[in-house]
Structure 1
Amino acid sequence: MEAPPTPSSFRTDKPLLSLLNIDLLAQVASITFFHPLGAWMLPLSLRTLTFQWHHPPMWGSMLYATIVTVAWLLQSLNHRLAYGRNREFNKSEEVLVITGGSSGLGLLLAQVYGMRGMSVAILDVNEPEVEVRNVEFYKCDVGNYQEVQAVSKQIIEDLGPPSVLVNNAAVVHGKTILDLSVDEIQSTFSSNVLSNFWTIKEFLPGMIEAKKGTIVTISSVLSHIGPKRCSDYAASKAAVRLLHESLAAEVAQYENIKTLLVSPGQISTPLFDGVDTPSTFFAPVLEPVDVAKEIMFAIDSGAGGNLDLPLYSKWIVVMQALPVSIQKLLRWISGCDDAMKNFRGRNSTDKLNGKN
């Protein structure tokens, strides 16, 4: 049996200031100054200090708290109107399928749900990097429809009809357009895009019949901007994002089928090994466990919607509305076009289905 973790187990060699970033500040603000409970603490505190209702600090703080409360309520209403009521989620009755689940983010999701006793199936060309309890592995090139079709029948026979699908499989080559081979371009779109079509075609009918389901699409912040050496990857992720938008519109008529679009920035997985983040403060590298927690919270709560992280990924779409000269300036300031110069990526033995 492993020894329990000690305080030294949680230490990090990173400088303390390197852990500070705009996302951390925004998260603290969202649960304090920009949350109704936190905002209303200010006028209550002033009242305990004998401030009267007509004093400027008192009514000013109450006005601020009212604005924060109204904004919070409008945000909740917007989400409800956009994505409807959350569906019921019962882990004992759910079957989860993860493509590209043998390492990285996909493996982490499989491990946690497997430990929680949920039926989980991994679709990948490579076996999981570590032993995964209570998880079934199905060797499958998800870019090949015939293989997906055959494996889907086996999963339904072994575990039952899947009710949660996480389309996570992806590859990235990190080469210029002229250096990319025809096979590499085809492998990118086969794994990153076509696999989504094949799994949806196989598993969505069962969700409609069972009147419950969640489809998670792992896109990328690069679906909105194409840096150097990312032409194939960025194009594939843009295609996946638009595929998801169409899918969400098509299943909107089914109240208990939810769609979740995840558009993360750089994640510290082997998929983008060697990539230099332009700014650790404004564009922090995400830890897989943090992304997994957000995805799992959405799945467990039966919610649909968009999950954009870190903070800059929520606003990068605005860049497309700016004058081209400003766009070029922002690209230069961010250094995004130089981020891939030291790219190493996965081991060359990983074929079609690299994993996020």
Structure 2
Amino acid sequence: MNKVILITGASSGIGKAIGEFLHQKGFTVYGTSRNPEKISNSVFPLLALDVRNVESIKAAVAEVIKLSGRIDVLVNNAGVGITGPLEEIPTEEIKANFETNFFGPIEVMKAVLPHMREQKSGLVINITSIAGYMGLPYRSVYSASKGALSIITEALRMEVKSFGIEITDIAPGDFATNIAAGRYHAPVIAGSAYEVPYDNTLKMMDTHVDSGSNPQEMALAVYAIIQEPKPKVHYKVGAFMQKFSIVLKRILPDKVYEQLLMNHYKL
């Protein structure tokens, strides 16, 4: 049977790459965007959905069920970046980031899971981040929101396994997308105690994104997971050293690992 795929945040970047690849493979793909009317070049249907708005989530899920009768795979991809010294990031921006990166995906899962339970089958793939495995300087909020989603994935997969539903996550490293343009940057404040190290770190982060991997790698990873009858708990996709950093964190003493990060960021 032709599987029905719902992908949040599918108008650009990783979400778009996943949607286009799965569409080419013959799946029935529905993507979502906050403003689908502004997108004219999508090869698959784009539905209006804002992960911060529960009613828009329910409406989009209901539309997919109306059109195709089921949802076999949810790819929870919508997310935003955020950078800055924690002391200088406005609290409302921290809350807004968690609304999109953490609470939003939870609300989408809450809307989709009852349909999967009724089908007695389904797969949820949460897009997290390698940054979620460690606290990164000037990316504290992003690391925390993605790390929280990863932990939710671990817990939820045990809660729904008896219903025939599989939950997993993919943690990407740096990919060549437009995430840097869309993320919230706390401004570099002249005279701030963080002015020089934050400015240098910001430039380094933008360079990493610009020289990042092809989003097609994420599309291939999602496709491979869909074929797996029993997906793993976590997957990592990205450059070798980015994935290896997770291994190092697991085996090195905390202070040694911290010093490696500080050396990398020249702090």
TM-score range, shorter chain: 0.7 to 0.9
Deviations along 1:116-163, one digit per CA (max 9) or x if unpaired, are: 332211122133755122x22111211222221222212211222211
- Asked if 2 retains the 8 angstrom alpha-carbon contact of 1:103 and 1:129, the reply is no
- Asked if 1 retains the 8 angstrom alpha-carbon contact of 2:84 and 2:138, the reply is yes
Residue 116 to residue 155, structure 1, CA distance change in 2 (3 Å): same
- Asked if 1 retains the 8 angstrom alpha-carbon contact of 2:22 and 2:219, the reply is no
2:94 maps to what in 1?
Answer: 185
- Asked if 2 retains the 8 angstrom alpha-carbon contact of 1:217 and 1:244, the reply is yes
Identity %: 25
Aligned with 2:114 (options 201, 205, 226): 205
Deviations along 1:191-234, one digit per CA (max 9) or x if unpaired, are: 10111111111111111211221110111111121222212111
User: Which stretch has the larger CA shift, 269-278 or 109-118?
Assistant: 269-278
Aligned pairs (5 A) from 1:264-283? 264-272=172-180, 276=204
Aligned with 1:293 (options 207, 211, 220): 220
In structure 1, list runs of 5 or more residues that go unmatched.
1-89, 339-356
Deviations along 1:91-111, one digit per CA (max 9) or x if unpaired, are: x2x111111111001001111
Aligned pairs (5 A) from 1:243-282? 243-254=152-163, 256-272=164-180, 276=204
Question: Which amino acid counterpart does residue 227 of structure 2 have in structure 1?
Answer: D
In structure 2, list runs of 5 or more residues that go unmatched.
182-201
CA distance in structure 2 between the aligned counterparts of 1:244 and 1:262, rounded to whole angstroms: 10
2:189 maps to what in 1?
Answer: none
Cα offset for 1:293? 0.8
CA distance in structure 2 between the aligned counterparts of 1:333 and 1:142, rounded to whole angstroms: 37
- Asked if 2 retains the 8 angstrom alpha-carbon contact of 1:262 and 1:308, the reply is yes
2:256 maps to what in 1?
Answer: 326
2:4 maps to what in 1?
Answer: 95
- Asked if 1 retains the 8 angstrom alpha-carbon contact of 2:58 and 2:111, the reply is yes
CA distance in structure 2 between the aligned counterparts of 1:221 and 1:144, rounded to whole angstroms: 27
- Asked if 2 retains the 8 angstrom alpha-carbon contact of 1:98 and 1:121, the reply is yes
TM-score by length of 1: 0.62
Residue 200 to residue 278, structure 1, CA distance change in 2 (3 Å): closer
- Asked if 1 retains the 8 angstrom alpha-carbon contact of 2:180 and 2:206, the reply is no
Aligned pairs (5 A) from 1:81-230? 90=1, 92=2, 94-127=3-36, 129=39, 131-133=41-43, 135-230=44-139
CA distance in structure 1 between the aligned counterparts of 2:207 and 2:263, rounded to whole angstroms: 10
CA distance in structure 2 between the aligned counterparts of 1:267 and 1:275, rounded to whole angstroms: 16
- Asked if 2 retains the 8 angstrom alpha-carbon contact of 1:266 and 1:272, the reply is no
- Asked if 2 retains the 8 angstrom alpha-carbon contact of 1:320 and 1:327, the reply is no
Residue 225 to residue 144, structure 1, CA distance change in 2 (3 Å): same
Residue 317 to residue 145, structure 1, CA distance change in 2 (3 Å): farther
> SS of the counterpart of 2:82?
coil
> SS of the counterpart of 1:229?
coil
CA distance in structure 2 between the aligned counterparts of 1:160 and 1:154, rounded to whole angstroms: 9
Cα offset for 1:321? 5.5
CA distance in structure 2 between the aligned counterparts of 1:275 and 1:193, rounded to whole angstroms: 26
- State the superposition RMSD in angstroms: 2.5
Cα offset for 1:317? 5.0
